[in-house]
Amino acid sequence: MKRNEKVVPTVPPEDKMRRKPRMDQTRIMALRAKLLNQGLFSHMAERLLRYCCMEDRGQNVFLSPMSVLMLLAIAADATAGQTQEEIIRVLGQPNAGKALGALQNILCAEGVLSSASAVCVRKDRAAGLKKEFRELLEQVYGGELFISEDMVQDVNAWVAEKTKGMIREAMPGTMENMMLCLLNAVAFDDKWKIPYEDHEVCDGEFRNTDGTVSTVKMMNGVEYDYIDQDRFRGFLKEYRNGFSFLGLLPKEEGSEALEEAVRLISFYRLLRRPLRKKVYTRMPEFTFNYTRELTPLFESMGISDLFRFGADFSPVLQSDRRLKVGSVLHKAFIDVNRQGTRAAAVTAMWVEEEGCAPEVEYEEVYLDRPFVFAIIHNRTGHPVFTGIVNQLESREA
């Protein structure tokens, strides 16, 4: 891989939070507050979950709203004119990138969540690169810009590195003629604050959305944050380092009930006031991969110029050909087991040139049928990953 010699240093979380800000601190805090008050993060999480739930009915879903938002912010900074204006309308403010960059530092401060951004440019188009964009990418997002002779190999190598091997391919061989790729990858790896003991894990049944029953390993525990809001009952289980697993069981059974509950989901309301109440819990060990093309979702949000030849990428590079985004792909991986959770996601936006190819009172919440889940940052309440488990394969004892 041929990358720039300049490397963004790895900064320990505590040092990163203390270093001198590149913007006036008051302005950063104002932007951050505006972003949080608008509920952009939760709104994107809910919209993504609803879209994927309907597009992949009856299938498992897993994604990272954080990764999608970071990529959209980079795309806004990489474009101009009408192309940029449409993205800004979705993000809600012209300086969303700076606010999201500041929020990224908060979410990643505990050290168990990482977020990396990059732009990869094909070697024969490197002469047109703008120095100003490279500096913006480094300063605002802590990202890197690299030049490649083999886009497929180099992008996939970057993805594998930044997701710690959990995702090994974001660019299929059919994308070899793409000339520009915008990337964001997030990875999470943390242990339960109170792990499950062996005697708390036993065989159990999971009722799949298609009516079949799978024998799985069920983890049994006791938690003290109980949720009873809207159409869900659920619980929070803490990780060691500032995050929690949110398990949500629809109050009514059946695929239609789950879809309706997801359609009306509000993470803000669900997390606003968890009840401090004893709750017996049961959830399966599970692991799966998920892939979803996001172009139709972005178009439904009002982002259309980006996907037509003539999209304005002039802040990144000068090109004598008309450009457009050929694909926006989101890939994710999740592994929940008795020790903790590993998860990763990557969002990739490929730009092509015209002519290219593309014991007291208690509650019980047993996740033994299709359920919704999320990984929540405790301080901000932001769902950095969300998902739905509709079906599980039986596991041998």
| CATH code for position 371 | 2.30.39.10
d(CA 49, CA 386): 7
Instruction: Answer whether residue 245 is part of any domain.
Output: yes
Q: Is residue 6 part of a domain?
A: no
| 147 and 214 belong to one structural domain | no
Residue 119 lies in a domain: yes
Strands (E), 294-360: 323-336, 340-353
Q: Are 269 and 379 part of one and the same domain?
A: yes
Number of helices and strands (H, E) in the chain? 11, 16
pLDDT of res. 249? 96
Non-local CB neighbours of 111 within 8 Å, separated by 6+ positions: 13, 241
What's the pLDDT at 2?
Answer: 43
Burial, 46: exposed, middle or buried (Cβ in 10 Å; 0-12, 13-18, 19+)? buried
User: pTM score > 0.75 for this model?
Assistant: yes
**Tally of structural domains, the chain:** 2
| Assigned domain for 132 exists | yes
The sign one gets for the Cα dihedral 297, 298, 301, 303 is: negative
Is residue 7 domain-resident? no
Clarify whether residues 246 and 322 are in a common domain. Answer: no
Residue-level length of the chain = 397
Same domain, 164 and 270: no
Q: Are strands 286-293 and 340-353 parallel, antiparallel or unpaired?
A: unpaired
Same domain, 261 and 295: no
What is the model's pLDDT at position 37? 41
Q: Which domain holds residue 269?
A: 192-286+359-389
- Residue pair 251/280 in contact (Cβ under 8 Å)? The answer is no
- The Cα angle at residue 178 between residues 63 and 180, in degrees rounded to 5: 75
Same domain, 184 and 292: yes
Same domain, 200 and 269: yes
Which of 219, 236, 232, 231 has its CA nearest to residue 275? 236
Residue 9 falls inside a structural domain: no
- Kindly give the confidence (pLDDT) of every residue in the chain, 397 residues in length, as a single tens digit, with 9 standing for 90 and above: 444 433 333 333 333 333 333 445 555 544 554 444 447 788 899 999 999 999 999 999 999 999 999 999 999 999 999 999 999 999 988 888 888 888 899 899 999 999 999 999 999 888 888 889 999 999 999 999 999 998 889 999 999 999 999 999 887 766 666 889 999 999 999 999 999 999 999 999 999 999 999 999 999 999 999 999 879 999 999 999 999 999 999 999 999 999 999 999 999 888 888 899 999 999 999 999 999 999 999 999 999 999 999 999 999 988 878 899 999 999 999 999 999 999 999 999 999 887 654 445 778 899 999 999 999 999 888 899 999 999 999 876 5
User: Do both 246 and 308 map to the same domain?
Assistant: no
Q: What is the pLDDT of residue 273?
A: 81
Contact status, residue 338 vs residue 201, Cβ threshold 8 Å = yes
246 domain residue, yes or no: yes
Tell whether 397 is covered by a domain.
Answer: no
The CATH number covering residue 54 comes to 3.30.497.10
Residue with the two structure tokens 């996001």: 294
Distances from the Cα of 122 to the Cαs of 31, 75, 181, 189, in angstroms?
34, 17, 9, 32
Which of 51, 140, 151 has its CA nearest to residue 104? 140
Q: Are residues 153 and 208 in the same domain?
A: no
Examine the domain organization and report whether 152 and 89 are in the same domain.
Answer: yes
Residues 196 and 173 in one domain: no
Asked whether residue 168 falls in the same domain as residue 126, the answer is: yes
